[in-house]
C-alpha cells in the first residue's frame, strides 16, 4: 500500500467536487512517510507564521524554536531589524541558542564559538589559530528568510521562494480595516496536541462542529453561515455576520470596537486560514491567532496568541476585562483540542475508511486538496 501513498489515483475521490468527494484516507494523518513528504514539499517551502515581532521588543531580544525539526533563532539586532538564523553551530553543529531572553552575542555552549546577533558572523573561536586556512568570516551562522507583515513574522527555509507579499495576495487589503500594525500581543499560550496538524486546521475552518463541540461556549453566539470568502493569495476564509464580539462568551463585558473598522469588518467576524497552518480570528474588538508547529504525524504544538489594539491594551480597565476574553479562548480552544485528539485516535484504527463531507465543510475539502496539490507524485 505504501508504495502507492503518493499515487494521484489513490486520491481521486477527494479530488471530486465537495458534495461528491470523500475525505482523505486515514494514512494522510497517521503515516510518518506522508508527514515527511509534507515537511519537504510544504513546510520547507512555504511562509510559516512564527509569531508577532513584539515577542522580541528590544535589540538583543531573541527566542529559539525548532520548526519541523529545524532549529532556528529569531533575534532583534542592534539595528532594530528582526532576523532569523539557522540555530546550528558552524563548528560541530550543536544547537547554539536555547529558550529566550536578551543577549549581546550568541555563544555556543559546547566550545564557546561566539556569533554576532546582527549578521551571525563568527566573532570568537578559541584555539583555532593553528587550523590551516581557517577564517572566521567563512563560519557565520546561516541567515534564513524572515519577512514581516503588520507585525506578524514569517519564516521561509527556501531561498527560491516567492516574497511573502506574493504569498499573502490580497489578504493585507482585506484585513486593512483592523489596523493590525497597531495591535499588541497581550497573551501567548502553548498546548501540545496529540493530533496531526491537518486535523486541527480542518476543525478550525468548519462550523459544522460548533453546535456539538461548543455547546457550552461559543454555540450561544448567533451567526449566519456564509460561503468561503473570495481569496487571491495562499489563504482561505469564512465570514460570519453577527452582532457582538466573537471573542467573548455570552453576557460577558468587553472593550469598544476597533475604531477603523469598515465594510464587512464592521458587520461580523473573519476566520482566515493562512496556508499551510495558521488561523486568524478577527472580530470587532480584537484578533487572535492559532499557530501550529507540526512535530510528527500525530503530534503538533499549538500556540494561541491574543492581540488587542494598543489603545485598548492601555485602558485602565484592561486588566479587569481581558480575562473575559481569555476565558472564552481557554474554554473553546480546549474543546477543539480535545475533539481533535479524539479524531486522531479514531484515525489510527485499522478500520478507518474515507467518509463524506457536509455542505458546511467546503474549506476542509479545499485544505485537503491544497495539500494533495503539493505532496502527490506528478
Ligand atoms: S559545536 Fe559549537 S563551539 Fe563546538
Ligand atoms: Fe471549534
Render pLDDT for 250-295 as a digit per residue (tens, 0 to 9): 999 999 999 999 999 999 999 999 999 999 999 999 999 999 999 9
Span from the CA of 103 to the centroid of ligand 1 (angstroms): 18
Start-end ranges of CATH 2.102.10.10 in the chain? 48-160
Per DSSP, the three-state class of 223 is coil
CA of 295 to the centre of ligand 1 (A): 26
Quote the pLDDT of residue 219: 79
pLDDT at residue 1 greater than cutoff 90: no
Predicted confidence (pLDDT) per residue in 48-70, tens digit: 999 999 999 999 999 999 999 99
- Cell, residue 75: 533575534
Whether the predicted model's global pTM rises above the 0.85 cut:
yes
| Residues lining ligand 1, Cβ inside 6 A | 89, 91-94, 108, 110-111, 113
Residue 223: its pLDDT value, please? 67
CATH 3.90.380.10 residue ranges in the chain? 171-375
Q: Tell me the CATH number for domain 48-160.
A: 2.102.10.10
**Into which CATH architecture does domain 171-375 fall?**
Alpha-Beta Complex (3.90)
Tell me whether strands 122-124 and 268-274 are parallel, antiparallel or unpaired. Answer: unpaired
Could you identify the atom of ligand 1 that is nearest to the CA of residue 125?
Answer: 3
Q: Which ligand is nearest to the CA of 211?
A: 2
Segment (H or E) for 272: strand 268-274
Neighbours of ion ligand 2 (CB under 5 A): 336
Q: What is the DSSP letter of 16?
A: S
CA 135 to ligand 1 centroid distance, Å = 16
- At residue 218 the predicted structure's pLDDT band, cuts being 50, 70 and 90, is confident
| pLDDT at residue 221, rounded to an integer | 67
Per residue in 283-318, pLDDT (tens digit) is 999 999 999 999 999 999 999 999 999 999 999 999
pLDDT at 124 over 90: yes
Tell the burial category of 269 from Cβ atoms under 10 Å away from its Cβ (0-12, 13-18, 19+): buried
Average pLDDT in the chain: 96
Q: How many CA atoms lie within 13 A of 89 on its CB side?
A: 20
Task: Give the distance (Å) from ligand 2 centre to CA of residue 332.
Answer: 7
Amino acid at each position: 500500500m505504501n508504495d502507492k501513498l503518493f499515487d494521484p489515483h489513490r486520491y481521486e475521490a477527494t479530488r471530486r467536487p465537495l458534495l461528491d468527494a470523500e475525505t482523505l484516507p486515514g494514512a494522510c494523518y497517521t503515516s510518518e512517510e506522508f508527514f515527511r513528504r509534507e515537511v519537504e514539499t510544504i513546510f520547507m517551502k512555504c511562509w510559516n507564521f512564527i509569531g508577532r515581532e513584539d515577542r522580541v521588543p528590544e535589540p538583543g531580544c531573541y527566542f529559539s524554536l525548532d520548526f519541523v525539526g529545524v532549529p532556528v533563532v529569531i533575534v532583534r539586532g542592534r539595528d532594530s531589524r528582526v532576523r532569523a538564523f539557522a540555530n546550528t553551530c558552524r563548528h560541530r553543529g550543536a544547537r547554539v541558542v536555547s529558550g529566550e531572553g536578551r543577549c549581546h552575542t550568541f555563544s555556543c555552549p559546547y566550545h564557546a564559538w561566539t556569533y554576532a546577533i546582527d549578521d551571525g558572523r563568527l566573532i570568537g573561536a578559541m584555539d583555532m589559530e593553528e587550523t590551516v586556512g581557517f577564517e572566521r568570516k567563512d563560519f557565520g551562522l546561516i541567515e534564513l528568510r524572515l519577512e514581516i507583515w503588520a507585525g506578524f513574522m514569517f519564516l521561509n527555509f527556501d531561498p527560491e521562494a516567492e516574497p511573502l507579499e506574493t504569498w499573502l495576495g490580497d489578504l493585507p487589503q482585506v484585513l486593512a480595516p483592523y489596523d493590525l500594525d497597531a495591535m499588541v500581543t497581550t497573551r501567548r499560550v502553548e498546548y501540545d496536541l496529540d493530533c496531526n496538524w491537518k486535523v486541527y486546521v480542518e476543525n478550525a475552518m468548519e462550523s459544522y462542529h460548533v453546535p456539538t463541540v461548543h455547546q457550552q461556549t461559543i454555540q450561544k453566539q448567533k451567526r449566519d453561515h456564509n460561503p468561503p470568502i473570495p481569496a487571491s493569495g495562499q489563504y482561505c476564509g469564512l465570514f460570519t455576520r453577527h452582532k457582538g464580539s466573537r471573542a467573548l462568551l455570552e453576557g460577558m463585558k468587553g472593550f469598544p470596537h476597533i475604531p477603523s473598522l469598515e465594510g464587512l469588518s464592521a458587520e461580523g467576524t473573519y476566520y482566515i486560514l493562512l496556508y499551510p497552518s495558521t488561523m486568524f480570528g478577527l472580530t470587532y474588538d480584537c484578533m487572535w491567532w492559532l499557530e501550529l508547529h507540526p512535530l510528527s504525524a500525530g503530534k503538533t504544538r499549538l500556540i494561541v496568541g491574543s492581540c488587542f489594539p494598543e489603545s485598548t491594551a492601555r485602558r485602565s480597565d484592561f486588566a479587569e476585562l481581558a480575562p473575559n476574553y481569555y476565558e472564552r479562548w481557554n474554554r473553546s480552544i480546549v474543546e477543539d483540542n480535545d475533539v481533535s485528539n479524539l479524531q486522531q485516535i479514531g484515525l489510527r484504527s485499522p478500520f478507518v475508511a474515507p467518509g463524506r463531507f457536509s455542505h458546511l465543510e467546503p474549506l476542509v475539502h479545499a485544505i485537503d486538496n491544497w495539500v494533495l496539490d503539493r505532496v502527490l507524485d506528478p
